[in-house]
Amino acid sequence: MKRVRRSEDFEVNITINRDTFINPPRQMQRGAVVNRALKEFTADLFAIHEQAKHFVAGSTSHSMDDRSQGELSEQEIMEDWQIPVMQTMADVVCDRSGDILEIGFGRGISSDMIQEHQVDSHTIMECNDSVIDAYHQWKQKYEGKDIRMVRGLWQDTIDDLGLFDGIFFHTYPLNEEEYMKYVNESITFAEHFFPHASAHLKPGGSFTYFSNEIDSLSREHQRLLLKHFSSFQIQVVSLQMPEDVKDTWWANSIVVVKAIK
């Protein structure tokens, strides 16, 4: 089977080599689903073309030195352009208050936003010792609040925790190996955390993360979510991106996801 889509800007060809690949009972069904996939891919190319007009160049330097215990500046931990994203994510994950788990303390900005929601408890996981020192200073603002620190990598500590009403995941690759495995080879860096988020959410609880999606969710992303969660909601957050952004993001919007257990 061969299918072609042409425009003035590109040509897309699909050749299916084996008759047993995508082989429903009727050939009409086969043609319909292949044509739909090709149509969607073509539409995605046109959408990317429009989105790319708003990209910023960003920095060409991207250090992948081990960052698990590095002394990091505030902008290395989290750049200011992400603050609107953090606010939306905090609102999403605290929609029913309750018990909140936050993976990565960072600069404490999202922790402040979570505390604005008057949650019952707030558990924070962090592996960087210097960031944990900053956490202890931050916590003094919230005397009497049920706020707990779990020290270490989430991979080593999360199995010891119970269930939560909301889980907020915003970390970054700690070294070159994690970058190549969980950024280059994944739809979103949070993908490898999906099963853990699902396992530690109460029924009806919410999970949010940095989606790495501009204005919608790809089918691959949707399938991954529905593998672990009953449903999801999305909203698009507009961004003011600096030309020299250091992070691996360049677009003027991002999708915030609310995945529901």
Per-residue pLDDT tens digits for 101-157:
999 998 999 999 999 998 999 999 998 888 999 999 999 999 999 999 999 999 999
Query: What six digits make up the tokens of 221?
Result: 């992303």
Residue 16 has pLDDT above 80, yes or no: yes
Q: Using CA atoms, how far apart are residues 225 and 214, in angstroms rounded to an integer?
A: 17
Q: Within a 10 A sphere around the Cβ of 89, how many other Cβ atoms?
A: 28
* pLDDT at 58 (0 to 100): 85
* pLDDT at 189 (0 to 100): 86
> What's the pLDDT band for 33 if we cut at 50, 70, 90?
very high
Q: Using CA atoms, how far apart are residues 219 and 207, in angstroms rounded to an integer?
A: 19
Q: Is the pTM of this model over 0.95?
A: no
- How many residues in total does the chain contain? 261
Q: Using CA atoms, how far apart are residues 197 and 220, in angstroms rounded to an integer?
A: 18
Indicate the range of 75-89, 94-108, 179-193, 227-241 predicted with least confidence: 179-193
Residue 70 has pLDDT above 90, yes or no: no
> What's the pLDDT band for 174 if we cut at 50, 70, 90?
low
Q: Within a 10 A sphere around the Cβ of 214, how many other Cβ atoms?
A: 20
Q: Using CA atoms, how far apart are residues 110 and 132, in angstroms rounded to an integer?
A: 15
CB 217 within 8 A of CB 234: yes
Chain-centre distance for alpha carbon 260: 15
Domains of the chain: 2-52 (no CATH), 77-260 (3.40.50.150)
* pLDDT at 173 (0 to 100): 60
Residue 69 has pLDDT above 70, yes or no: no
Nearest Cα to 208, choosing from 142, 261, 246, 138? 261
CB 126 within 8 A of CB 151: yes
- Tell me how far CA of residue 9 lies from CA of 25, 35, 41, 51, 257, in angstroms: 36, 20, 14, 16, 32
